[in-house]
């Protein structure tokens, strides 16, 4: 695929900005920005209206770099859940998303990509991926659609400041000043900073009068005090239940009430990761602002009760007394985890099933059902997949994505105060809000053209 750049564009930012303003300028060529550019031009075309001049500015040397790393390079672009389920994933702010999801829900998104020749499939956990299993096919499709629509793509062209006079926005860029009648801010959050997302969108929105809910790392790995986790680094454990234990009376949290998370967990060289942990990390991050450490209780066998485990161990004692306990435990858990259970419960490695004492039984079941970790930090914005916080939602109209503070300013994607867990929800949020913003802007262009005719 040819990489568009500022040089390849037929517009010199300086020349164009000084001559005539763009109808629409989008800052940020990520999931939301690209979808918005395409939606705006598609809507004008469908309504048989003259095309608009649309510019999209990207700080990186090519569009969609963050999308390329999504889902481990496979791009988990959405989730198969119902509309209500999707909305519920965004907690108390989820309702804001209703109009955007009604305009482009997960089915419509999949159909849109299928129409562009990129079919998708659902995996066992409801996550949706392109059949190619390549995030590049998602990005290439959006870039090609922008090219077809005549969108002017300025790569390696970061916006630095944004101001507004009575009728236009003035955007200072690395390539010179540019002007636009309508502005869409889609700069993403401030996590995974090496991908270009350094919180610029918050500054631009604030400069135009918006309030920003303090950004906080979310979907982020956690550091724990238990040194033994490093010995299990790289080990993924399926279907565990993780619950937060606050060290004191639980304060009222902006991130909501902590509910246990059931999913897969990953041991790393510094602590814990994997969806079960990542999905609680936003609340843990907020608790860590109030307490020095936060407890996590992990149930490695939440579908089997402690009493059932007691019966199982008694049965093994009778039916498999001469077998090593380690052998039978390793049939249920990964070998390295089974060995760790023995060590943590002070049960010698060579213990036979017939030789397990009642104290060992008790300690072993505690390890299986109730291992406690003490979290002392997150891996921070550098490794957070998503940023919680952002532009206050009561200052944005959910039916159009237009600012309620500044006319002709629109906002979409992660820059808004909306955060979902891992599972495809955050990209769906970006695509849906971007699509709605693009269509709303097209409608505004038509309306304003008619007014001035
Ligand atoms: C490792 C990783 C894996 C992930 N996997 C998934 C997944 O599988 N599924 C999922 O749903 N979510 C996933 N996410 C989250 C997802 O990437 C984001 O939620 C989503 O990309 C947000 O879309 P956006 O358009 O709002 O912002 P982004 O896609 O982040 O795009 C913002 C763009 O704005 C550009 N920009 C920023 N500042 C400026 C400026 N001043 N001037 C010009 N351009 C600027 C940035 O370079 C960037 O290209 C993952 C995130 C990470 C870090």
**Domains and their CATH numbers in the chain:** 13-217+382-452 (3.50.50.60), 221-378 (no CATH)
Do 414 and 188 touch, CB atoms closer than 8 A? yes
CA–CA separation, 241 and 259 (whole Å): 10
| Interval 239-254: pLDDT, tens | 999 999 877 777 666 6
> What distance in Å separates the CA atoms of residue 321 and residue 284, rounded to the nearest whole number?
43
Whether the CB of 127 sits within 6 Å of ligand 1:
no
Residue 149 CB less than 6 A away from ligand 1: no
Give CA–CA dist 41/30, Å, rounded.
17
3 state SS of 203 = helix
Closest C-alpha to ligand 1, atom 29: 30
H/E segment holding residue 36: helix 31-46
CA dist., res. 401 & res. 436, Å (int)? 7
Is the pLDDT at 3 greater than 60? The verdict is no
Distances (CA, A) of 309 to 145, 181, 242: 56, 67, 19
Q: DSSP letters of 361-379?
A: HHHHHHHHHHEEEEEEEE-
Phi then psi for residue 191, to 5 deg, are -110, 165
pTM: 0.90
Ligand 1 in reach of 57 Cβ (< 6 A): yes
pLDDT for 6: 39
Q: What is the Cα–Cα distance from 42 to 398, expressed in whole angstroms?
A: 21
Candidate of 65, 197, 205 to mutate for ligand 1, largest count of ligand atoms within 8 Å of Cβ:
197
105-109, 259-263, 381-385: least confidently modelled range: 259-263
H-type alpha helices, 70-219: 83-88, 98-103, 106-115, 135-148, 200-207
pLDDT at 1: 35
Q: How far is the CA of 426 from the centre of ligand 1 (A)?
A: 9
- In this structure, the dihedral spanned by the alpha carbons of residues 285, 286, 290 and 292, taken in order and rounded to 10 degrees, is -10
Q: What's the pLDDT at 255? A: 63
Cα 21 from Cα 15, distance rounded (Å): 10
pLDDT, tens only, 72-85:
999 999 999 999 99
Q: How far is CA 10 from the centre of its chain?
A: 34
Tell me the best of 427, 436, 438 to mutate to test the pocket of ligand 1, counting ligand atoms within 8 Å of each CB and taking the most: 427
DSSP percent split of the chain into helix, strand, coil, nearest 5: 40, 25, 35
> Which pLDDT does position 299 carry in this prediction?
98
- Higher-confidence residue of 221 and 286: namely 221
User: According to the model, what pLDDT value does residue 256 have?
Assistant: 65
pLDDT of 184 higher than 60: yes
Mean pLDDT (whole number) for 152-176:
93
CB 174 within 8 A of CB 160: yes
| pLDDT for the residue numbered 148 | 96
Residue 56 near ligand 1, beta carbon < 6 Å: no
Q: What angle (nearest 5°) sits at the alpha carbon of residue 162, between those of residues 157 and 168? A: 110
**pLDDT value at residue 453:** 83
């Amino acid at each position: 695929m040819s990489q568009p750049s500022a040089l390849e564009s037929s517009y010199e930012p300086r020349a164009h900005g000084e001559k005539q303003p763009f109808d629409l300028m989008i800052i940020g060529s990520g999931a939301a920005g690209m979808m918005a550019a395409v939606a705006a031009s598609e809507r004008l075309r469908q309504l048989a209206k003259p095309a608009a001049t649309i510019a999209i500015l990207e700080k990186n040397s090519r569009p969609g770099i963050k999308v390329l790393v999504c889902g481990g390079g496979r791009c988990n672009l959405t989730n198969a859940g119902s509309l209500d389920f999707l909305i519920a994933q965004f907690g108390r702010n989820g309702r804001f998303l209703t109009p955007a999801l009604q305009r482009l829900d997960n089915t419509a998104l999949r159909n849109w990509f299928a129409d562009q020749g990129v079919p998708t499939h659902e995996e066992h956990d409801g996550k949706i991926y392109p059949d190619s299993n390549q995030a590049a096919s998602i990005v290439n499709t959006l870039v090609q659609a922008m090219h077809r629509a005549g969108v002017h793509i300025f790569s390696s062209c970061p916006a630095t400041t944004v101001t507004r006079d009575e009728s236009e926005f003035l955007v200072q860029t690395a390539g010179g000043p540019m002007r636009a009648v309508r502005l869409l801010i889609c700069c993403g959050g401030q996590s995974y900073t090496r991908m270009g997302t350094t919180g610029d969108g918050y500054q631009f929105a604030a400069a135009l009068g918006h309030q920003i809910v303090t950004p906080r790392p979310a979907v982020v790995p956690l550091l724990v005090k238990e040194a033994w986790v490093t010995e299990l680094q790289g080990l993924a454990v399926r279907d565990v239940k993780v619950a937060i234990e606050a060290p004191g009376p639980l304060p009222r949290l902006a991130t909501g009430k902590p509910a246990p998370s059931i999913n897969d967990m990953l041991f790393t060289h510094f602590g814990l990761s994997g969806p079960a942990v990542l999905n609680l990390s936003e609340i843990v991050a907020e608790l860590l602002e109030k307490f020095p450490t936060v407890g996590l209780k992990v149930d490695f066998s939440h579908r089997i009760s402690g009493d059932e485990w007691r019966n199982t161990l008694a049965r093994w004692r009778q039916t498999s007394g001469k077998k090593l306990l380690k052998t039978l435990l390793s049939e249920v858990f990964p070998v390295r985890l089974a060995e760790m259970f023995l060590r943590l419960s002070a049960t010698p490695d060579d213990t036979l099933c017939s030789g397990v004492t009642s104290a060992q039984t008790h300690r072993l079941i505690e390890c299986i059902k109730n291992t406690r970790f003490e979290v002392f930090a997150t891996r921070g914005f550098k490794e957070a997949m998503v940023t919680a916080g952002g532009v206050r939602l009561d200052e944005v109209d959910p039916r159009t994505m237009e600012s309620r503070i500044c006319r002709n300013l629109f906002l979409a994607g992660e820059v808004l105060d909306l955060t979902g867990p891992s599972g495809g929800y955050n990209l769906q949020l970006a695509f849906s809000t971007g699509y709605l913003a693009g269509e709303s802007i097209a409608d505004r262009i038509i309306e304003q053209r008619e007014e001035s005719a």
